[in-house]
């Protein structure tokens, strides 16, 4: 989509221009808010040691030919600052340009910056979520944010970045439509954080089984605060027949082997004080979350 790619580059360049203007920008309050956001949150801007820890944890391998990490567990990782801003958009390489890039790519709504949207935090926890939001389907129509209950003065306003949470398993949401069927790993990749429960996980698995060439495992995780246990439900709101989402033998074998590998990885590295001190705190905490 060359047209959208062009619009993306123009909008990103304009945000960078506003960053350069700073207090002189017509949008100074919003621009200053963005410029003061913490940096180093998105995976592709992590330190090299932080990336190496995460990629090893996810069982990924370095592909010398394509110069990227492949395989393993999700996320697959969005394109980086170097690939998009420097190579594609031909932008200049400055710390402020990098800050503008990561603020834009983690906040834009189809190449638009919409302040009241991107200044709200995300949650799919029904105890926290207090609004429902909708995006226009064509230019000129409004973005809408509606409260779903009374919101107290000073209370945090939450929106769902996925809009139609795949894990509510509630009939009233079955007809909900969205462009954002993000899993929890996608959220981590795009927005730089591991979301609270409920979480959605989707794994595409090459099972090496001649009778089952490919398998997709989709499941939701809930946390029972009373018992401290994790509750697993296979499928999601969009599964016409949830029983069809019970993993195949190959899928179960994959999940078991990955759980065993991750348990061993935790034993080997989580208490490594030297490694922990070498990695920024945020990267360390998000990797183990």
For residue 210, give both structure tokens: 């001649």
Evaluate whether 242 touches 235 at the Cβ level (below 8 Å).
yes
pLDDT score for 168: 64
Q: How far apart (Å, rounded) are the C-alpha atoms in residues 280 and 286?
A: 10
pLDDT score for 226: 82
Q: How far apart (Å, rounded) are the C-alpha atoms in residues 147 and 129?
A: 9
Residues in the chain where the model's pLDDT stays below 50:
1-4
Percent of the chain with pLDDT over 90: 34
Identify the sign of the CA torsion 19, 24, 29, 32: positive
For residue 158, give both structure tokens: 């939450």
69-80: pLDDT as tens digits: 777 888 877 678
User: What is the chain's length?
Assistant: 289
pLDDT score for 176: 59
pLDDT score for 75: 83
189-243: pLDDT as tens digits: 888 999 888 888 888 776 565 555 557 788 888 888 888 888 888 876 666 676 7
Among 211, 288, 223, 289, which residue's Cα sits nearest to residue 251?
Answer: 211
To the question of pTM greater than 0.85 for the whole model, the response is no
The neighbouring-strand residues paired with 215 are 205
């Amino acid at each position: 989509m060359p047209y959208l790619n062009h619009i993306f580059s123009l909008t990103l360049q304009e945000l960078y221009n506003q960053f350069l203007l700073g207090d002189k920008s017509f949008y100074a309050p919003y621009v200053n808010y963005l410029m003061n956001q913490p940096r180093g949150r998105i995976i592709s801007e992590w330190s090299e040691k932080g990336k190496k820890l995460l990629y090893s944890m996810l069982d990924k391998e370095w592909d010398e030919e394509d110069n990227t990490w492949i395989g393993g567990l999700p996320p697959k990782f969005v394109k980086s600052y170097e690939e998009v801003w420097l190579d594609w958009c031909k932008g200049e390489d400055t710390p402020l340009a990098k800050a503008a890039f990561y603020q834009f790519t983690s906040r834009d709504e189809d190449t638009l910056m919409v302040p009241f949207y991107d200044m709200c935090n995300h949650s799919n926890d029904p105890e926290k979520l207090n609004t429902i939001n909708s995006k226009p389907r064509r230019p000129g129509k409004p973005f809408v944010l509606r409260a779903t209950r009374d919101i107290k003065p000073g209370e945090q306003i939450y929106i769902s970045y996925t809009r139609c949470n795949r894990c509510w398993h509630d009939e009233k949401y079955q007809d909900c439509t969205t462009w954002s069927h993000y899993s929890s790993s996608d959220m981590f990749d795009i927005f730089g954080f591991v979301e609270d429960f409920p979480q959605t996980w989707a794994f595409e698995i090459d099972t090496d089984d001649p009778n089952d060439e490919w398998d997709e495992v989709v499941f939701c995780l809930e946390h029972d605060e009373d018992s401290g246990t994790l509750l697993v439900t296979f499928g999601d709101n969009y599964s016409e027949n949830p029983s069809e989402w019970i993993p195949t033998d190959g899928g179960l074998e994959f999940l078991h082997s990955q759980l065993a590998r991750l348990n061993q990885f935790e034993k080997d590295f989580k208490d490594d004080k030297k490694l922990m001190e070498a990695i920024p705190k945020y990267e360390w905490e998000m990797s183990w979350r």
